Amino acid sequence: RRFSAVLTEARVMTAAAVVLLALLWGGFGIGARYVLDHQPAEEVAAVRLTLATLDADDRLIARVSVRTPIAKYSALAHHVAPWPDAADDRAALALAHEEGIGYLLWDDDTGAPPLADLSARRVAGTDRYGLYRLVAP
């Protein structure tokens, strides 16, 4: 092959890659917007409040309905640690704190979280979800 033919082929491949990247790049934004537009407002608010509170390396545990995707498939997923294996929720929260997990996202539809002095520990929340700071029991 001649050098100019190889150069032309490289340009075509580069142009195709740029076009493909441009198409895919827009798709990520469209996909995220679609998900947020179809997620219940209460869940979107809980995710936003939680993200506004957490630092980049903060971790949390979440007690939410299994039908609610906010702990597994949302912008919070990389912050969420597995629920500790313990005899009850109070023991799980103590284990989480010992492991360095600083926050609890709690679905109030499951009842009140087993924390002493809830008002002092609640750092953010919505009507349904509360974000609590885990402190030593």
Residues belonging to the chain: 137
Residue-wise DSSP of 41-82? HHHHHHHHHHHHH--TT--EEEE--TT-GGGTSSTTGGGBPP
Average pLDDT over residues 2-17: 69
Q: In the predicted model, is pLDDT for residue 132 greater than 70? A: yes
What is the pTM (predicted TM-score) of this model? 0.72
Structure tokens at 98: 């010992």
Query: Residue 27: its pLDDT value, please?
Result: 66
The helix/strand/coil state of 137 is coil
Average pLDDT over residues 19-27: 70
Which of these ranges, 14-23, 37-46, 83-92, 121-130, has the smallest mean pLDDT? 14-23
